[in-house]
Structure 1
Amino acid sequence: MPELGVQDHAAEPDDLRHLPVSALARVGPKLVERLERLGIRTVQDVLFHLPLRYQDRTRLTPLAEIRVGLETWVEGEIRDAAISYGRRRSLKVWIGDALGAGLLLRFFYFSPQQAAQFQSGERVRCYGEVRQGPQSLEMVHPEYRILSHTDTDAPLAAALTPIYPSTEGLQQTSWRSLTDQALALMARTAPTELLPPEILTALGLPTLTEALRVLHRPPLGTPLQDVTEGRHPACVRLAFEELVAHQVSLRRMRLEQRRIRAPVLAGDGRLRQQLRASLPFTLTASQERVVAEIAADLAQARPMQRLLQGDVGAGKTIVAALAALQALESGCQAALMAPTELLAEQHQRNLSGWLGALGLEPVWLAGRHKGREREERLTAIASGAARMIVGTHALLQDTVAFQDLGLVMIDEQHRFGVHQRLKLREKGGGVNGAPHQLIMTATPIPRSLAMTLYADLDLSVIDGLPPGRTPILTRAVPDTRRDEVIERVRQACLAGRQAYWVCTLIEESEMLECQAAEDTAQQLSACLTGLRVGLVHGRLKSQERDAVMAEFASGALDLLVATTVIEVGVDVPNASLMIIENPERLGLAQLHQLRGRVGRGVVESHCILLYHAPLSTIARERLGIIRDSTSGFEIAERDLAIRGAGEVLGTRQTGSVQFRIADPLRDQSLIAQAQRAADRLLVAYPELVMPLIERWLATRERYGGV
């Protein structure tokens, strides 16, 4: 076999970035294809494919000390072995030690030859997870070996055993073989250090080679908890480099954007003054501050890139309307894109009410528009006859062309991938340059996360609610008191108020959830005789749904039974009571969004969380948070701590930022240092920028087209 197990290959291993995985021993075309699924093409990629967790196979645990959940080696003498023919055939092997402690080994899949191996009096060594069985502690399908009289002191592993994220057809033994070879090559040719020594030394971090060696093969004595929780210096070293790579990428994107021309949208203020004069309310101080920040950006010749955060009901849409009018005053088109038709309709209604009075009726484009109707709308957009356009993903289609798109506004942007945001921007690349972008979200993003994920954007926050909004009082009630809750709904409606009843199901099935809502509506109609009950869910045709919502908004319905479809898009000031069934099945951000459908009038509003007992510890904690806090930003911080960044922001979807090593919450203390390091690299070490981005971001979406 060639030295180090590496096959003869034209590429010398002087740069592991360019040495293909096919250069490793026993890596043929099929294995190359499987590795490709995980974005692994080179030996460096293998080194940066780090373990998910570790098994401690370095020691034996006495049978008397084992406990449920422990993964360990145990050793004992076989006391008995028998095949059980209960509901499911199984091989049961009882082992014990001289102190009388014992353990059951259970095998559901076994051959006669395997069963014959377990002879009373023989010693056996097994590795597995200890579980609580019907009668005793047990291991199900453990790894095992029958010990001969000569190997009773058979050696254990010398290091923690890594468990790698994998794909179909790739076993852990294959991963250990691949990483053994990659580590041997790394010992001969170290990966390029892309962080200057001055930065690493100041932070007291190990070299890249040291960090990778420790994480792939943690030596004896390595604190397993420090490694698995990301506190070990080796973990910190890689997390820091990854954070620097993201910051460099986003800062580079920002610099590129500043070189792009954009239309100067100063406007004469005429349309904005007319809109303000027609409003039945005045803007809050925080709304005015944000409007001024956006207006100043739009008047520049470089594209605005601004993220607008505002809690549920904070009044982002009127801010967007004023920004759109500034674009229209300057002779350009403005477009607002929302992730769902329901939310797009809500924006269309609000904007029609405000802008229609000024003779600027917005044009709406969604997937439902077909045939002649669609062609007419596309023509109006392309010719410039349509100045304000509202739409869904349909705006991204190649058939949609704008005449002079000057401002792009994207609502609930985390539901779109980065590439979708960029595609809409590219539709404005006319003679005036790229359009300005205003990105809005009602999902409050903790500042620590915003600094990490959106370093390419300026941040504006509407940090107050419009006057007249009343705090929402929230209570958690077990569903054994359902009758009391129904009576409360009756009393509220008889007093002239309206209520929501939200149904959720744990199954990922819209059909089942809609069926549950239909059943609930029938039950409540039977209990609440004399009250008018409506039903809304995602499988209703849009015209039917619109009609029901219009009835509820007009006061023709007392109670609206719905699925989580009403999370956005319904604004009924007279609704003062919300019931959410099975709230333990929803995330904190979604619960907060749903709760925001009430509290929009001057009457005190209530939200009842009708949960099903018993609650898990985490569910109890989450319901306590939503009960005790009305601040979306505080809730977001707590949700982030419980569920992590990926779950809070939905970053599993294509194009969103994901981290391999770093955790924006755990590594908050590193973020400011990573930002300073990124600035230093861009100024003093520009040659390191692209290799760093390629190392950490090459397999992701390209950010900002850079």
Structure 2
Amino acid sequence: MSELAARSLSGLKGVGPRGAERLAKLGLHNVEDLLFHLPFRYEDRTQIQPIGRLRPETHVVIEGEVLAADIVFGRRRSLLCKVGDGTGMVALRFFHFTAAQKNNLERGTQVRIYGEVRAGGTGLEFYHPEYEIANGGVLPPLDKRLTPVYPTTEGVHQKTLRNLMQQALALLERYPPRDLLPKALLDDASLPTLREALLKLHAPNPDDPVDMLLTGSHPAVQRLVMEEMVAHQLGMLSRRAGQKTHSAPVFTDDALVAKLRAGLPFQLTGAQQRVIQEIAADLAIPSPMLRLVQGDVGSGKTLVAAAAALMAIRAGYQVALMAPTELLAEQHLANFRHWLSPLGIDVHWLTGSLTPKARRDTQALLAGGEAAMVVGTHALFQDAVAFHRLGLTIIDEQHRFGVHQRLALREKGRQDTQIPHQLVLTATPIPRTLAMSLYGDLDTSVIDELPPGRQTIDTLALPASRRPAVIERVHAAAKQGTQAYWVCTLIEESDALQAQAAEATWASLKEALPDVDVELVHGRMKAKDKAARMARFASGEAQLLVATTVIEVGVDVPNATLMVMENAERLGLSQLHQLRGRVGRGGNKSYCVLLYQTPLSHTAKRRLAVMRETGDGFRIAEEDLRLRGPGEWLGTRQTGDLAFRIADLMRDEALMAPARDMAEQVLADHPASADALIHRWLKGAEGYADI
């Protein structure tokens, strides 16, 4: 541990027990933490501005003499001071003040003031400015460097943080931090030392390019960003190396895969064949596979997973597929039974909605080894579930699971040092920037080709006032023998959110379309009722399905050609894209209608425009990440990997690949530095989407 990291903030002047508690809310526990707490803007207090040249809405330093200080009454009582410097006069206004403050600002006092100039009732005014009073008629020297403004919290003032930072900078000069990135790598990237970078960021000169410091393009910022990104990559590489110290079963026989392919009524795409080969290569070595398979809606990931499962089953091992919702798990169950039953393989089912007896029966089959494959939800990693010989876990839409949930399923197959292979699926295309950070410890396969016959989907956005015309379009689709979805974003009515509730929409559409069979599905229904209603729609008994976003994934009805999304402006781009992917699965031309409420925000307009412009899931995911940021894009912060202190995944995208290369070099040539970097930046973090 470095000298700076070893020094508690309680050892700094002015930090008592309560102060330490407040600083801890900012994540500040030691001097090193404090030095990594960067300003979010700077103030220039290095020059005096003549009062006669002041302009509204500017931050300036002035000096002058107090000409008057009076308490004035109006809508609010205030202390009003007049200050002049010979070039003009300006007012200082304080709505919160003490008698001592009024006495200190008596007529004739020399003061220096910093704040924002505003237009007020007496002309130009400062509201609650910072000020200093001359001591013995002499004001302190002007600042020689720009003044930092830091993120703060209740009870921690800027003045407090600046005083603490001055002490921290003095310690930085006395105990320069060890540069954990090799000098040769820093020189190649033209980056300063850690000490130089911190000094520049906390105390820049007036002529330094402040805009570069604030936008992250200055080498001082990039020095810290690079080190933090390297540390995160090292964390994943180290974890990956740790995983690879385990052994895993070897699967090399693809006879069942060949039988599966022979029985399919279509040819696999080139992308599917390539990814199956990549998985087969992983399974053929006695080291645990950690592979992420991502592909757009309808690209055929499930069939690729089925091929992997068959290789494990052929070798005498069990396979568990875990999905985040029962609806998605049910769809997987149907697909796997359709493909595996002709091969003589039973696929079992385990979810929380099973009766106690059914659950016990399935658990007995898994523990005894009679069940070769099971599909389920969170119920799979419960304590009561034991496997006889689990060799492969398949996790779908894994970002919806917590770290410990995924690890718990893997641990079900641990036998001494042997652990199961892991295959992760996602239908949400992951932007490259996020993938390198979120899944850097996984090998990644991309199914970048859609099966022949997948239709492009024409998308249009219409205001809610056009609803009657859209209902007519649904009626026409039903009369033509095709089916439609009508998706609502809420279950119950909510005037505040201006959203049509699914139940109210279902009732109104049944009334508007008396000759159309309309079904309703939402997340609060019992699983049995939901499955029955979905089955009616899938079989064609119902022509229109009114649903909430529970149908986002896991629903496959080739005859559905029309998707209507109510209140589309309330959904993120990735979710809109997932929902749109429920149509276009058959041979008929398909359409998506985005109904929106006015007025639209700028972000909502951009989302709808992107949906109209492209069907490319990766481009949509990139734009969604740009609009919403990583935390909201993921939908949950169950992992510690995105808790960057300084780096910004979108702003610093260009540094991600060099950081990965640098991390590999550090790990290979400077392992001691690797451990120190991980400790410096990742202490307290857990998981990083560890699976």
Q: TM-score, normalised by structure 1?
A: 0.85
SS of match in other structure, 1:403: coil
Equivalent in 179, 196, 204 of residue 182 of structure 2: 196
Q: Which residue of 1 aligns with 2:626?
A: 641
1:630 and 2:630 correspond = no
Moved more, 369-378 or 532-541: 369-378
Q: Alpha carbons of 1:39 and 1:146: their partners in 2 closer, same or farther (altered >3 Å)?
A: closer
In structure 2, what is the equivalent of residue 425 of structure 1? 410
Displacement of 1:444 in angstroms is 0.9
Residue 698 of structure 1 pairs with residue 686 of structure 2: no
Which moves more between the two structures, 164-173 or 21-30? 164-173
Distance 2:73 2:505 in 1: 50
1:239 aligned partner: 225
Question: Residue 587 of structure 2 aligns to which amino acid in structure 1?
Answer: V
1:497-512 → structure 2 map (5 Å cutoff) = 497-504=482-489
Distance 1:72 1:400, change over 3 A: farther
Question: C-alpha root-mean-square deviation of aligned residues, in Å?
Answer: 4.0
Amino acid at match of 1:597: R
Residue 249 of structure 2 corresponds to: 263
The aligned counterpart of 2:278 is 293
- CA, structure 1 residues 550+169, in 2 after alignment: closer, same or farther (shift >3 Å)? farther
The alpha-carbon distance between structure 1 residues 378 and 187, as it changes in their structure 2 partners (threshold 3 A), is same
- Counterpart CA distance in 2 for 1:677 and 1:542 is 50
Aligned length: 685
Equivalences for residues 516-531 of structure 1 within 5 A: 516-531=501-516
Cross-structure match for 2:294 = 309
Change (3 A) 1:214 1:514: same
Larger mean Cα displacement after TM superposition, 213-222 or 115-124: 115-124
Match of 2:208 in 1: 222
Compared with structure 1, are the counterparts of its residues 689 and 618 closer, same or farther at alpha carbon in structure 2 (3 Å cutoff)? same
Classify 1:347/1:58 alpha carbon distance in 2 versus 1 (closer, same or farther; 3 Å).
farther
Post-superposition CA distance 1:205-250 (Å, at most 9, x none)? 1110111122233332333321221111111001111122122222
Gapped regions of structure 2 (runs ≥ 5): none
Structure 1: 5+ residue runs without aligned partners? Answer: 1-12
Determine whether 1:210 maps to 2:196.
Answer: yes
Deviates more, 1:257-266 or 1:329-338: 257-266
Shift of 1:518: 1.8
Aligned to 1:620: 605
Q: CA deviation at 1:171?
A: 3.9
- Of 33, 40, 51 in structure 2, the residue corresponding to residue 45 of structure 1 is 33
The answer (yes or no) to whether the contact 2:321–2:376 under 8 Å persists in 1 is yes
Q: How far off is 1:644 after superposition?
A: 3.2
Q: Post-superposition shift, 1:300?
A: 1.1
Matched, 1:363 2:348: yes
Cα pair 2:639 2:688 within 8 Å, conserved: no
Counterpart code for 2:611 = I
1:345-387 per-residue CA deviation (whole Å, 9 max, x = no partner) reads 2222222222234343322223334633333333332222222
Over residues 37-72 of structure 1, what are the superposed CA-to-partner deviations in whole Å (9 max), with x where a residue is unaligned? Answer: 5544332222223334445566688897445xx777
Q: CA deviation at 1:612?
A: 2.3
Preserved CA contact (<8 Å) 1:50 1:164: yes
Q: Distance in 1 between matches of 2:602 and 2:238?
A: 44
Query: Matched residues in 1 for 2:470 and 2:81: separation?
Result: 54
Deviation per CA, 1:162-197, whole angstroms, max 9, x where unpaired? 444445544444433332222221111011110111
Match of 1:3 in 2: none
Partner SS, residue 349 of structure 2? strand
Cα distance in 2 between the residues matched to 1:238 and 1:506: 46
| Structure 2: distance between partners of 1:84 and 1:400 | 73
Aligned partner of 1:403 in structure 2 is: 388
* Aligned residue among 462, 468, 481 for 1:477: 462
Letter in 2 for 1:328: I
- For the Cα contact (< 8 Å) 1:126–1:142, is it kept in 2? no
Distance in 1 (CA, whole Å) between partners of 2:497 and 2:431 is: 34
User: How far apart are 1:431 and its partner, in Å?
Assistant: 5.0
Which amino acid in 1 is paired with 2:684?
T
Offset of residue 144 of structure 1: 5.5
Partner of 1:331 in structure 2? 316
Q: Is the 8 A contact 2:493 2:500 kept in 1?
A: no
Shift of 1:331: 0.8
Change (3 A) 1:114 1:529: farther
Q: Aligned-pair distance for 1:338?
A: 1.7
Same amino acid, percent of matched pairs: 51
2:501 match: secondary structure? helix
Which of 520, 526, 549 matches 1:535? 520
Letter in 1 for 2:542: L
Does the CA contact (< 8 Å) of 1:78 and 1:124 recur in 2?
Answer: no
How big is each residue's C-alpha offset from its partner over 1:493-527, in whole Å with a ceiling of 9 and x where there is no partner?
22222212222369999998997222222222332
* Contact residue 464 and residue 595 of structure 2 kept, 8 A: yes
Equivalent residue in structure 2 for 1:384, among 366, 369, 372: 369
Match of residue 637 from structure 2: 652
Q: Aligned pair in 2 of structure 1 residues 556, 687: CA closer, same or farther (>3 Å)?
A: same
1:110 offset after TM fit, Å?
A: 7.9
Whether the 8 Å contact between 2:506 and 2:518 is mirrored in structure 1 is yes
Letter of the structure 2 residue corresponding to residue 557 of structure 1 = A
User: Residue 12 of structure 2 corresponds to which residue in structure 1?
Assistant: 24
1:311 deviates by 0.2
> Do the aligned residues in 2 keep the contact of 1:253 with 1:703 (CA within 8 Å)?
no
Name the aligned partner's letter for residue 481 of structure 2. G
Deviations 1:526-577 (A, max 9, x none): 3233222222222222222222212221222222222222111211111111
What is the TM-score with the length of structure 2 in the denominator? 0.87
Q: Is the 8 A contact 1:505 1:513 kept in 2?
A: no
**Would the aligned equivalents of 2:59 and 2:116 in 1 still touch at CA under 8 Å?**
yes
Deviation at residue 584 of structure 1 after TM alignment: 2.3
Conserved 8 A contact 1:346-1:569: yes
- Cα distance in 2 between the residues matched to 1:295 and 1:486: 49
1:68-107 CA distance string (max 9 Å, x none): xx7777999999996666xxx7879899999999999796
Q: Which moved more, 1:365-374 or 1:225-234?
A: 365-374
